[in-house]
């Protein structure tokens, strides 16, 4: 990605829109579920709220990182701006993995925010693939009901089998 501030502003507006959609969804879900005791059941109200909060926070952090990069670049601090932009472009923490905790079907605002980020082309291609996987999942997948199976699969994935 170039250091074109107009392009960075376009990306920032998309991140802000995604964040606003996720925050509206978080508020809707909080109102719908009310106070929920913590549990470790994928798709439960508590896990769904945890997931939407993670998604929203990830977009807020991504926007802050991008704003820092744009600020450095606007001030002519190229080296700092380039480093900050590289950090901003990394796959967002808990996005889209927060959706793995959430009950299905995902809310319309959640889906819209995820599709917006997928189509943005700002983050690594792996992010778009992970978003498609999360959107296609028929049910919540995290936390797993069987941790021993989960850890075995995780080892297999990391070994490249």
Q: Which residues contact 61 (CB under 8 A, 6 or more apart)?
A: 92, 93
Domain ranges of the chain: 5-159
- What secondary structure does DSSP assign to 144-158, as a single string? -S-HHHHHHHHHHHH
Element (H, E) at 9: helix 5-33
The whole-number pLDDT of residue 111 equals 98
The whole-number pLDDT of residue 137 equals 96
Query: Residue 61 burial by CB count (10 A; 0-12/13-18/19+): exposed, middle or buried?
Result: middle
- The mean-pLDDT minimum among 17-26, 28-37, 54-63 falls in 28-37
Q: Which two structure tokens, joined as six digits, stand for 102?
A: 């959430």
Condensed to tens digits (0 to 9), the pLDDT of residues 70-129 reads 999 999 999 999 999 999 999 999 999 999 999 999 999 999 999 999 999 999 999 999
The whole-number pLDDT of residue 17 equals 98
Q: Please give the Cα distance from 108 to 133 (Å, whole number).
A: 17
Mean pLDDT of 2-27: 94
Between 147 and 1, the higher pLDDT residue = 147
Q: Is the pLDDT of residue 45 over 70?
A: yes
The whole-number pLDDT of residue 1 equals 42
**C-beta of residue 69 within 8 angstroms of C-beta of residue 85:** yes
Q: Please give the Cα distance from 67 to 8 (Å, whole number).
A: 9
pTM of the model: 0.88
The whole-number pLDDT of residue 148 equals 72
Q: Please give the Cα distance from 26 to 49 (Å, whole number).
A: 7
Q: Please give the Cα distance from 56 to 114 (Å, whole number).
A: 11
The whole-number pLDDT of residue 146 equals 76
Which candidate, 138, 19, 12, places its Cα nearest to that of 73? 12
Condensed to tens digits (0 to 9), the pLDDT of residues 125-155 reads 999 999 999 999 999 999 988 777 766 666 6
Label residue 157 by pLDDT band (50, 70, 90): low
């Amino acid at each position: 990605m170039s250091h074109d501030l107009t392009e960075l502003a376009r990306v920032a507006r998309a991140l802000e829109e995604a964040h606003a959609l996720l925050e509206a969804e978080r508020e809707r879900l909080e109102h719908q579920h009310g106070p929920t005791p913590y549990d470790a059941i994928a798709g439960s109200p508590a896990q769904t709220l945890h997931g939407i909060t993670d998604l929203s926070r990830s977009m807020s952090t991504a926007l802050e990182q991008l704003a820092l990069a744009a600020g450095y670049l606007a001030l002519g601090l190229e080296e700092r701006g380039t480093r900050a932009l590289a950090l901003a472009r990394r796959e967002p923490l808990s996005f889209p993995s927060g959706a793995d905790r959430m009950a299905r079907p995902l809310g319309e605002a959640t889906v819209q925010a995820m599709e917006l980020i997928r189509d943005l082309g700002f983050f690594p291609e792996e992010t778009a693939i992970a978003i498609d996987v999360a959107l296609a999942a028929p049910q919540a997948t995290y936390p797993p009901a069987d941790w021993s199976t989960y850890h075995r699969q995780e080892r297999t994935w990391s070994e490249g089998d």
